[in-house]
Copies of this chain bind each other. A is one copy, B any other.
Amino acid sequence: MKKINIAILGYGVIGKGVFEICRNMPNINVVKILERKERFDQNYIELFTDNADEIFRNKKIDLVVEVLGGYDFAKQMIVKSLQYEKHVVTANKEVIAKDIDFLSNLASRSNISIAYEASVGGGIPIIKNIKELKKVNKISKISGILNGTTNFILTKMFEGLDFNEALKEAQRLGFAESDPTADLEGYDMMRKIAILSDLAWDTFIDINQIPQIGISKITKEDVLLAKENNKVIKFVCESSLNNDSIEIKVEPKIFDNNHFFSNVNNEFNAVILETFPNDTLTFIGKGAGSLPTASAIVLDIVDIIEERYINNYQNINKYKIN
């Protein structure tokens, strides 16, 4: 059995999940964990460091898991890992959406991988399934409920709360951040739909070009009206390819009660792919949470160990963005 030595950058909710799963995997050895000193886990103190260079310079470490969150420092760590010829597995949708083109090039120069299943849809294996499907199928449309926070808020509004009550409930349960702007205004979903579109159509979408409408203006009256008509409101991202252009947007949208999206509630995420010749495929799973996201990360690690990871992101097509 091939084995791999890894480092985990960040020991937050997801980093802890990755560590927990990896401890039960006989082929994955966690050698170092990067964290600020005050957050070291005393039970595994020998693994912790607050000095990233210790990780980069350690030639035994083949792979770095980036679960720091944020943008600037995380990107810097990913770039350095690749420069030191270590594979990178990340859950960082902002870095991937903004920099996958650059990072893929950097990785391919050293014949290593940058893997990011966990950046979209938590535990849903959507990146892998798109990569596999596109070997035989043309994907014409991608639709997603890809933000757990807003889906939770809308679910609660359909259960009777108004927007502010639902937001407070989400914050109380830890589903929404104290500044929830990125979720509520759709910036989070813009990144995720860009990542999936880039992959499906071998392109690189500037996320600033994606039109977006947030959910903060949805009222109790909107919800009541939808309910009366056997409909639901879901906050979705959609992207479709038509000849030389991609139509892409993030917005709240009304769906019939018999649409697959209508039963995707609370923290669940879903993606619908319209393909030919395979027709419509729908994937539903937990879009967030420590263990589902960590499972996606560890599956990427296993693929890299087994040399099964598909490095097939390319930026070869230019499309108009509508």
Contacts and interface: CB of A to CB of B under 8 A. Distances in A.
B263 A291 contact: no
Interface string A282-322: 11111001011011101100100000100000000000000
Interface residues of chain A: helix, strand, loop or mixed (majority):
mixed
A151 to B, nearest CB: 14
B302 A136 contact: yes
Nearest to A296: B278
Contact of A132 (B17, B123, B128, B257): B128
A278 B277 CA distance: 29
Contact of A283 (B135, B262, B276, B281): B281
Contacts of A283: 281-284
A142 interface: no
A132 B125 contact: yes
A260 interface: yes
Contact of A286 (B257, B258, B280): B280
Given A258-B265, A260-B263, A308-B308, A281 B124 contact: yes
A65 to B, nearest CB: 14
Nearest to A28: B136
Interface string A251-285: 00000011110110100000000011111111111
A60 B282 CA distance: 38
From A137, A265, A276, A279, name the one whose CB has the most chain B CB atoms within 10 angstroms. Answer: A279
Contacts of A263: 258-260, 262-263
Nearest to A281: B285
A279 B286 contact: yes
A135 B289 CA distance: 20
A128 B133 CA distance: 11
Contacts of A213: none
Which bracket fits the contact residues of A? 35 or more
A173 to B, nearest CB: 17
A1 to B, nearest CB: 12
A13 interface: no
A279 B132 CA distance: 22
A84 B292 CA distance: 43
A292 B277 CA distance: 6
A21 B136 contact: yes
Interface string A173-204: 00000000000000000000000000000000
A298 B133 CA distance: 10
A302 B262 contact: no
Given A125-B133, A136-B302, 12 more contacts: A21-B136, A21-B277, A125-B281, A135-B302, A136-B299, A137-B295, A277-B294, A278-B285, A278-B286, A280-B284, A281-B284, A281-B285
10 contacts: A21-B277, A125-B133, A260-B260, A262-B263, A278-B296, A279-B286, A282-B282, A282-B283, A282-B284, A283-B283
Interface of A: 17, 21, 25, 123-125, 128-129, 132-133, 135-137, 257-260, 262-263, 265, 275-286, 289, 291-292, 294-296, 298-299, 302, 308
